[in-house]
Amino acid sequence: MKKTMTKETMLAHLGRKVATENRIINTPVFHASTITHKTLESWENRNRDLYRDMAYGRYGTPTSFALQETMAELEGGDRALLYPSGMAAIAASILAYVNAGDHILVCDVVYAPTRKYCDSVLVKAGVETTYFAPGIGAGIAELIRPNTKLVYVESPGTHTFEIQDIPAIAEAAHKAGCVVLHDNTWATPLYFDSFNKGVDVSIHAATKYVVGHSDAMLGIVVTKNEHFAPLSAVTSAMGYCVAPDDAYLGLRGLRTMSVRLKQHHKNGLAVAEWLEKRPEVSRVLHPALPGNPHHALWKRDFTGASGLFGVVLKEAPKPALAAMIEGLDLFSIGASWGGYESLITTCYPPRSVEAWNPEGPLLRLHIGLEDPADIIADLEAGFDRLNKLKAAA
């Protein structure tokens, strides 16, 4: 692709080489396990680096290669690998750069399963984890030890949506020889430019906005060439692979990701601004709101926001909260996010560095592609139910 093309244009054209060679639009689904060879020389020199060359179904097919190449170029990296879930991508990425006796630094606001992996799996492998406050910035240098090999950030943070100063963290980490990993699921490559901000390994739960339709599990990791070999080795040794149908759904989702994210941004911000004015709300945790304490960092480093954010309500009894949520028409209660539908859940963030003591219940909202006026009307009716039961309590 020409360097002057925007990412929106790239999304419509990348990863289609196999398709265009056959005069069709979409890259087909290649189902394969055994890949045959015509000569002994070809067999003995087959490429097993999980990238581009057909060797065995687990190492990839033209469908998965197309998705890998699209994500790598979209994010400005050199290579990408696919995983059967976002958590698989996280696990492989961390494990790739550590050995027994090493130490890593992980932001205190990470995805809870990432914390569980560090505390239950890595510790058994002899890798120690220290958690750091999301606002640490360049101060992370004080936590780096001689055996610290990796710094893991997630901006914004899960549930509470703090923005971290990734360029400052990365600068300090690189001075000490550490690799910087970032979970870029919330912003996607469209709204956060990982590699120009100092990130070495960008991780995506592509189940969310890449797939975009709540019907496939998928993880993607993008790296520069210098960090690819350890990741490829761990991925191959652990047997990770992605079904070609899921890779196809990832490719299909990417084609519309830019228009979907623009609408998620617009809808999410409209609902967040409305919630800020509600008497039942203590605070809205959305970094794109001008009054948010992390807004300046968000504005500096991001070019947009997704539809996911948090809302802290004022104190409310559980039955009133249940009545509010269970009676919603447009919101479903469920894990994950990033699809076209609106979701709502209660959250209880695990913290080990800074205590999380909210004024009332914390809700996580994913604002979908419905008309924001309808979403607001649904939430308004929900607050009416909450207030009635709260008054009767």
The set of catalytic residues is: 58, 111, 183, 208
Q: Are 338 and 309 in contact (CB under 8 A)?
A: no
Other Cβ atoms within 10 Å of 23 Cβ, number? 6
* The total number of residues written for the chain in this structure: 393
Structure tokens, 167: 């360029």
**Residue 268 CA to chain centroid, in angstroms?**
17
Q: Hey, which residues does 148 pair with through a beta bridge?
A: 103
Q: Are 91 and 81 in contact (CB under 8 A)?
A: no
d(CA 185, CA 182): 9
d(CA 190, CA 261): 9
Q: Which residues contact 202 (CB under 8 A, 6 or more apart)?
A: 75, 77, 181, 182, 184, 189, 194, 195, 221, 222, 223
Pair type for strands 128-132 and 103-107:
parallel
Return the closest-CA partner of residue 189 out of 170, 169, 203, 168: 203
Q: Hey, which residues does 132 pair with through a beta bridge?
A: 107
